[in-house]
Amino acid sequence: MVGITGFGAYIPKYRMARDVVAKAWGPRFITGERAVDNHDEDSLTRATEAALNCLAAGDPKAVDGLIFASTTSPYLEKQASTLVATAVDLPVEIYTADHLSSVRAGTAALKAAMDAVKGGSAKNLLVTAADTRRGEPGSDSEQLIGDGAAALMIGGSGVAASIEGIYSLSEEFMDTWRKQDDDYVQKGDAAFVQAYGYARMVPACIKGILKKYELKTSDISRFVIAAPDSRVYARVTKSLNLPAGSFPEDPLLTTVGDTGTAAPLMLLVDALEKAKSGERILLCGYGAGNADAFLLQISPEIERLRGRRGVSSYQSSKKPLANYEKFLKFQNTLPTEPLEPYSSWALLWKEKKQNLQLYGTRCKKCGTFAFPRRRICLKCNAKDEYEDAKLPRKGKIYTFAKDHLFPNPDPPTVMAVADMEGGGRFYGQVTDCDPAQIKIGLPVELTFRRFHQGGGFYNYFWKLRPTE
């Protein structure tokens, strides 16, 4: 039996009410709010957060591979999946791959992982999906698109949701697209795209999988259907005549937005958080003429996954972003003060164990933990008598300072020293915070963020984030 053995999700802290955009461009706006990346977040950092949440109660060394699905990888030529795998501390002897180009990439990655485990080439594969798509300023897309991420562990033992069947449709169709030199998502005529794209292919895919496995809509406990907007979603659910209560009235569109590649997996995580043993879930994802449908059966193992950081834990944890200019700065639409520090790809590789995987050293003689890594023990002066030890990800602020001069799209820059649970200290920037609320003793956790661009490439590191 192959299926989902773990799950996690991530939604950025900031939420922007859609009337904020309307105030900047005119009276027309869409109901609700959308999740917005902070200036130091992107699809890679969010995929890392979701993967860490998925692995919270598991052993990273038992994972055989990681697939990263996105239409907005930070690099056109370089695997993002390898960096995600390094940040979550997966072993070197694994398979990594990027699934790109279409918002259908999330379900395509899920199918690839399922086939690999079923075929025996892997025992446990981690699927991550995240997008940072951008709509042209003033457009409907700018309001509809949201930022989010999801992660699913696919394995053959301890299965909480077995994948009982799959059905796909693929047809060349110009729906949404983005060329290499496009900054924003492009769309065809809305009426035509809805009528002959999503509204035609999604019902056909759902009907196809039900027919293939000789099931009726009444046999399905939960329908999980990703959608680009609320109107076409309502149209499709009505045309399928789905049983009342078997599908969410709002597929995260009014609270998070259309998260693209991550949307079907985030909705599935949301459904798994509420699922009960014995229920059957039908998942459907769509992207530019391509649709995938999955049948999942919930097992008693679902109880083991209660309490994971999924969609629900982030829904209520949010911070309003009421300044449209700041939103444009976060998206790099408006220029900010340039910062081009020295960066070395050689040092990045040499220090990845410390800077990306958060390994410090523990003295074999006296047990003293040190981070950053040290060859000589701070306490007993033993030289090269140490073993690798992970820096805990949670702690409390010991001291801090606010820098109003350092270039930052969201000043001031808060620097802090945190005492981490179980030993060790971490010095770094504080993000997702109200500087006025920073205080000594404030609980914080480490979060993986984009630090800066230097040497022609992106530099990623860890920052501190308040947990209150």
Q: Which among 207, 187, 211 has a CA at the least distance from the CA of 197? A: 187
Percentage of the chain beyond pLDDT 90 is: 82
| pLDDT band at 344; cut points 50, 70, 90 | confident
Task: State the burial class of residue 99 (Cβ atoms within 10 Å of its Cβ: 0-12, 13-18, 19+).
Answer: buried
Give the tens place of pLDDT for each residue, 61-87.
999 999 999 999 999 999 999 999 999
Using the Cα atoms of residue 89, residue 90, residue 92 and residue 96 in order, give the sign of their dihedral: negative
pLDDT of residue 337: 65
Taking residues 284-302, report their average pLDDT: 96
Taking residues 340-354, report their average pLDDT: 86
What token pair was written down for 131? 């997008």
pLDDT exceeds cutoff 70 at 108: yes
The model carries a pTM of 0.94
pLDDT exceeds cutoff 70 at 339: no
| pLDDT band at 96; cut points 50, 70, 90 | very high
CA–CA separation, 355 vs 419, rounded Å?
A: 17
pLDDT exceeds cutoff 80 at 341: no
Cα separations in angstroms, 46 against 8, 61, 231, 375, 447:
11, 21, 28, 33, 9
* Mean per-residue pLDDT of the chain: 94
Give the tens place of pLDDT for each residue, 110-136.
999 999 999 999 999 999 999 999 999
User: Exposure pattern of 168-192 as b/e (b: 16+ CB <10 Å)?
Assistant: bbeeebebbeeeeeeebbebbeeee
Give the tens place of pLDDT for each residue, 17-76.
998 988 888 767 788 999 999 999 999 999 999 999 999 978 899 999 999 999 999 999
pLDDT exceeds cutoff 90 at 195: no
Contact 48, 448 (CB under 8 A): yes
Give the tens place of pLDDT for each residue, 400-414.
999 999 888 889 999
What token pair was written down for 185? 């998502």
Tell me whether the omega of the peptide bond preceding residue 251 falls within 30 degrees of 0, making it cis. Answer: no
pLDDT exceeds cutoff 70 at 254: yes
Taking residues 318-322, report their average pLDDT: 93
What token pair was written down for 89? 């501390």
pLDDT of residue 27: 66
Q: Which among 128, 60, 58 has a CA at the least distance from the CA of 97? A: 128
Instruction: Report which DSSP code applies to 139.
Output: S
Lowest mean pLDDT among 25-34, 189-198, 446-455: 25-34
What token pair was written down for 444? 């914080």
pLDDT of residue 256: 97
Contact 125, 119 (CB under 8 A): no
pLDDT of residue 345: 83
Lowest mean pLDDT among 114-128, 187-201, 290-304, 346-360: 187-201
- Delineate the domains of the chain, giving CATH numbers in brackets: 3-330 (3.40.47.10), 393-466 (2.40.50)
> To which H or E segment does residue 237 belong?
helix 230-240
Instruction: Report which DSSP code applies to 371.
Output: S
| pLDDT band at 338; cut points 50, 70, 90 | low
